[in-house]
């Protein structure tokens, strides 16, 4: 099959006169990177994000931290070796969130933490990225598939480049504007502890843009069978996503408010998610739905609050002591594809 595709690509590039009018060769159908932001060789602020525009719609499942990698270049002398390692799948990029737009022709990457001041980064789009037509990325159509590579440098501390959006106060009685995270999602949940579900072991882990203010955001726990809202947790005042991008809400030990068995918890509150089919919704500061995780079947599509109980198909209902977790911040907007069963839960760690 691979040889057939290569043969057809060569035919499409070298023998165009034999193609019927209106026929589009496979060579022309290969996706390529049309533009990247930051531009190659530019200098950016530590809160920069990466946007890559492709010539064709791409297959979302082929884009991750190993195929569209943003990697820190430690030594210019090792540039070629680092690129080769990324291309071969031996080196992955920094952790962050990928989102898709423009009919899956544009990918945005938001790092999970601020970029290192003064550091140089490479953006590598490997040929393991496939178009929606399952043809590999190629920056040199008609020849052996070639990856895309660009680089940018983060301004050093004191360099005079300002960061992203900032809040401002118009007077002593006007509060600072809340800077909400550009992205945040449910990343991992342990809802059925090996022992008691209500004695400080269950947790919900969020993953989002570091420093984002999530004051007033809510976790809503829903009965998946009938859509009835069972419990709601509201994030307290001045809650912000930590520098590592991970925020853990943990159950309190019975009779010990503020204490939990979950190491590194950021917020402790007494709660007990149901054991599937059920769902957890993440609502923003204005009550809007940001994310939903449904697990177990059969499950209602819409909860009693009028918002979705799942994204796509529901994730599996895992065994006691196991958690449901994303991998590398993957978000395909389908719970069944985004979440997997994790035998050893890892609150506070991607």
Q: Which is it for the CA torsion 76, 81, 82, 84, positive or negative?
A: positive
Q: 20-74 pLDDT, tens per residue?
A: 444 456 677 899 999 999 989 888 888 888 999 999 999 999 999 999 999 999 9
Q: Which two tokens stand for residue 35?
A: 């533009």
**Residue 254 banded pLDDT, cuts 50, 70, 90:** confident
Query: Would you state the pLDDT for residue 197?
Result: 59
289 DSSP β-pair partners: 283
Using one digit for the tens of pLDDT, what is the confidence trace for 122-155? Answer: 999 999 999 999 999 999 887 888 999 999 999 8
The pLDDT, as a whole number, for residue 345 is: 95
Task: Give the tens place of pLDDT for each residue, 283-332.
Answer: 999 999 999 999 999 999 999 999 999 999 999 999 999 999 998 778 88
How confident is the model at residue 123, as a pLDDT? 96
Q: Where in the chain is the domain with CATH 2.60.40.1220?
A: 31-154
**For range 241-259, the mean pLDDT:** 89
Write out the DSSP string of 173-234: TSPPPP---S-EEEEEEE-S-SS-TTSS--EEEEEE-TT-B-TT-EEEEEETTT--EEEEEE
Model pTM? 0.58
Over pLDDT 90: what percentage of the chain? 58
pLDDT band at 177 (very low <50, low <70, confident <90, very high): low
pLDDT at 102: 84
Q: pLDDT at position 264, please? A: 85
pLDDT given for residue 21 in this prediction: 47
pLDDT, residue 216, reads 93
How many of the other CB atoms lie within 10 Å of CB of 47? 19
| Predicted pLDDT at 28 | 78
Determine the Cα–Cα distance for residues 281 and 291; give it in Å rounded to an integer.
Answer: 6
Q: What is the mean pLDDT of the chain?
A: 85
Half-sphere exposure of 109 (CA within 13 A, CB side): 27
Mean pLDDT confidence for 251-258: 84
> Helices (H) and strands (E) in the chain — how many of each?
4, 18
- Give the CATH number of domain 182-350: 2.60.40.1260
* In this structure, CATH architecture of domain 31-154: Sandwich (2.60)
Q: Is the pLDDT of residue 14 over 80?
A: no
Q: Kindly list the distances between the CA atom of residue 191 and the CA atoms of 23, 200, 203, 206, in Å, as whole numbers in the listed order.
A: 54, 11, 7, 14
C-alpha span between 232 and 240 (Å, rounded): 19
Judged by phi (left if over 0) then psi (alpha if -120 to 50, else beta), residue 158 lies in left
Domain ranges in the chain with CATH number 2.60.40.1260: 182-350
Backbone phi, then psi, for 76, in 5-degree steps? -60, -30
Q: Mean pLDDT, to the nearest integer, of 252-272?
A: 88
Phi, psi of 120 (to 5 degrees): -105, 140
Note the pLDDT of residue 12: 45
Of the listed ranges 5-19, 41-55, 86-100, the one predicted with least confidence: 5-19
Residue 168 pLDDT level (bands cut at 50, 70, 90): very low
Residue 239 clears pLDDT 80, i.e. is over it:
yes
């Amino acid at each position: 099959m691979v040889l057939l595709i290569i043969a057809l690509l060569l035919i499409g590039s070298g023998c165009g006169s034999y193609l019927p009018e209106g026929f589009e060769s496979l060579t022309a159908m290969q996706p390529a990177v049309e533009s990247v932001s930051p531009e190659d060789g530019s200098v950016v602020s530590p809160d920069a994000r990466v946007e890559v525009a492709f010539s064709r719609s791409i297959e979302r499942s082929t884009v991750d931290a190993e195929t569209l990698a943003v990697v820190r270049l430690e030594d210019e002398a090792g540039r070629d070796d680092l690129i080769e390692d990324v291309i071969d799948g031996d080196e992955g990029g920094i952790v962050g969130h990928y989102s898709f737009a423009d009919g899956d022709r544009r990918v945005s990457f938001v790092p999970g933490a601020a970029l290192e001041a003064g550091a140089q980064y490479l953006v590598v789009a490997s040929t393991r990225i496939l178009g929606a037509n399952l043809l590999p990325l190629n920056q040199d159509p008609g020849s052996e598939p070639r990856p895309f590579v660009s680089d940018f440098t983060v301004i050093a501390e004191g360099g005079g480049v300002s960061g992203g959006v900032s809040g401002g106060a118009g007077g002593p009685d006007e509060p600072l504007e809340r800077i909400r995270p550009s992205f945040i999602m449910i990343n991992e949940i342990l809802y059925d502890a090996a022992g008691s579900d209500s004695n400080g072991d269950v947790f919900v882990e969020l993953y989002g843009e570091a420093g984002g203010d999530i004051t007033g955001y809510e976790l809503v726990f829903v009965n998946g069978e009938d859509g009835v809202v069972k419990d709601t947790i509201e994030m307290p005042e001045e809650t912000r996503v930590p520098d590592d991008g991970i925020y853990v809400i943990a159950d309190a030990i019975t009779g010990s408010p503020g204490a939990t068995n979950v190491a590194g918890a950021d917020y402790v509150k007494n709660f007990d998610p149901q054991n599937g089919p059920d769902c957890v919704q993440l609502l923003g500061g204005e009550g809007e739905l940001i994310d939903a995780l449904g697990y177990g079947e059969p499950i209602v599509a819409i909860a009693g609050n009028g918002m979705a109980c799942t994204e796509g198909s529901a994730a599996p209902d895992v065994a006691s002591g196991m958690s449901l977790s994303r991998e590398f911040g993957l978000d395909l907007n389908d719970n069944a594809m985004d979440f997997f069963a994790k035998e050893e839960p890892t609150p506070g760690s991607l």
